């Protein structure tokens, strides 16, 4: 799924990627050293690997240590989303400084993460994709057409949520939808599934409810059986 997204975004950005990209990444993994202590949480991977293709076609692979997240619901703050022009908008373009700045701002204000809004519409998180359970029983995530990144984590847990009776759909996430949501979670390869307790000090639904439980179980299943090796390519 990650390789497929790289291919989609590279095509949008006009970057030529090698046909054997996955093979090159797996070859590079052999020489990587651990970037620190592994994450020991049962619901997170031990490490994160950032793989990509530069504008000149060079393939890069970088290991990263990932933090351990609290089991309690997270506190979020709302910030203005960076406004990227087409075709950069909604792609993994590697200009991550605004997201790092948002993360630092959240920490400075005593929050765990920042949620990024554009004209009152929730677009993204500083390192994660938001997913909310509406009163109609559907789990909604930001639309790619609104500038959101197409989340691999949501793609991975989607079948598990559907099997649990929670349809997953893209939507224009307005403030009204967020305030009336039954609950809200954020998802990401480096953090797994985390429940949102509040945004700007306001409680959002009932944290760690049905959506969180179903998404967490789907994620744990992916951590157990979703890995591939070079032989699978």
| Residue range 92-115, pLDDT digits in tens | 555 668 888 999 999 999 999 999
Query: Mean of the pLDDT values across residues 175-184?
Result: 96
pTM listed for this prediction: 0.84
For each of the domains in the chain, give its residue range(s) and CATH number, in order of start: 2-67 (no CATH), 74-221 (3.20.10.10)
pLDDT for the residue 93 = 53
pLDDT for the residue 92 = 59
Residue 8 has pLDDT above 90, yes or no: no
Angle at 5 between CA 76 and CA 36, to 5 degrees: 60
Helix (H/G/I), strand (E/B), else coil: 115? strand
- Consecutive H or E run containing 168: strand 168-171
Residue 230 has pLDDT above 70, yes or no: no
- What span, in angstroms and rounded, lies between the C-alpha atoms of 144 and 191? 21
pLDDT digits (tens, 9 = 90+) for 68-80: 999 999 999 999 9
pLDDT digits (tens, 9 = 90+) for 135-157: 999 999 999 888 777 788 999 99
């Amino acid at each position: 799924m990650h390789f497929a997204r790289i291919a989609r975004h590279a095509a949008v950005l006009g970057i030529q990627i090698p046909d054997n990209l996955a093979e090159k990444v797996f070859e590079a993994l052999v020489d990587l050293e651990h970037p620190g202590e592994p994450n020991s949480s049962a619901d997170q991977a031990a490490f994160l690997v950032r793989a990509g293709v530069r504008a000149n076609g060079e393939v890069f692979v970088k290991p990263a240590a990932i933090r351990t997240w609290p089991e309690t619901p997270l506190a979020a703050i709302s910030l203005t989303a960076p406004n990227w022009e087409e075709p950069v908008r909604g792609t993994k373009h590697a200009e991550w400084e605004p997201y790092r700045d948002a993360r630092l701002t959240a920490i400075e204000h005593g929050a765990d993460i920042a949620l990024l809004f554009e004209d009152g519409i929730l677009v993204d998180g500083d390192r994660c994709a938001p997913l909310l359970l509406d009163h109609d029983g559907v789990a909604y995530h930001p639309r790619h057409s609104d500038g959101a990144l197409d989340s691999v984590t949501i793609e991975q847990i989607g079948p598990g949520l559907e099997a649990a009776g929670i349809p997953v759909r893209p939507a224009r996430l307005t403030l009204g939808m967020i305030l009336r949501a039954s609950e809200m979670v954020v998802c990401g390869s480096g953090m797994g599934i985390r429940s949102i307790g509040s945004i700007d000090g306001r409680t959002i639904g009932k944290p760690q409810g049905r959506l969180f439980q179903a998404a967490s179980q789907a994620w744990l299943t992916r951590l157990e059986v979703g890995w591939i090796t070079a032989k699978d390519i």
